């Protein structure tokens, strides 16, 4: 009993010294609330209207940064075929022309639109030419590439024809680099096809 009393007294004395006081542990803060992709709009290629992403609620949405003079430009054909095949079954595509990779999208809005229509028969919406990275990154690509906003992960758009897939509920579900084509098994699986 004396030993127990001695130990308890020692603990009480030691507990009062500065180094022995327990430090206050701050609660872990949950991640900041992610924003909704449906709060974002982007101008059409000719800047005459807005593409409101909220209009795509309930659909899989494929967002692709595009370029007219790239080795992957042939994917416009693949994207158009994909869009034509699945647009009536809950899938949409938006192309976002970008000139940040090798200067491979130098044209005006009219030139880009004409090129896409003439060479690939593109009927899916094209946005205005935007920056997908860097200081002037468009808010759409801020959401796509920043975990703080999309709630999934940070991504870096590495070249033309990178693809982001958004679920019908507005969640980022998949990111694919340039080499993955819209007809590839993994791509189709990501849009439930």
Residues annotated as catalytic are 70
The crossing angle, in degrees rounded to 10, of helices 109-120 and 75-86 is 70
3-state SS assignment for residue 61 = strand
Among candidates 38, 28, 27, which has minimal Cα distance to 149?
38
Which position has the token pair 């992403």?
Answer: 53
Neighbouring C-beta atoms of residue 37, cutoff 10 Å:
24
Environment class of 9 (CB within 10 Å of its CB; exposed 0-12, middle 13-18, buried 19+) = exposed
Neighbouring C-beta atoms of residue 61, cutoff 10 Å:
25
Which position has the token pair 């000139």?
Answer: 99
């Amino acid at each position: 009993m004396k030993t127990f009393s001695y130990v308890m007294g020692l603990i009480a004395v030691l507990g009062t010294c500065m180094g022995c006081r327990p430090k206050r542990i701050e609660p872990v803060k949950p991640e900041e609330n992610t924003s909704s992709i449906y709060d974002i709009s982007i101008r059409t290629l000719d800047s005459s209207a807005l593409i409101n992403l909220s209009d795509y609620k309930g659909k899989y949405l494929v967002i692709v940064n595009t370029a007219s003079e790239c080795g992957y430009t042939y994917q416009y054909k693949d994207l158009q075929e994909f869009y034509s095949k699945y647009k009536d079954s809950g899938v949409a595509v938006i192309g976002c022309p970008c000139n940040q990779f090798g200067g491979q999208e130098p044209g005006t809005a009219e030139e880009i639109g004409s090129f896409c229509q003439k060479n690939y028969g593109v009927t899916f919406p094209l946005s205005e030419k935007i920056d997908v990275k860097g200081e002037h990154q468009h808010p759409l690509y801020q959401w796509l590439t920043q975990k703080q906003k999309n709630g999934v992960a940070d991504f870096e758009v590495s070249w033309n024809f990178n693809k982001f897939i958004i679920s019908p509920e507005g969640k980022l579900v998949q990111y694919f680099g340039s080499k993955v084509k819209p007809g590839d098994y993994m791509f189709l699986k990501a849009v439930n096809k």
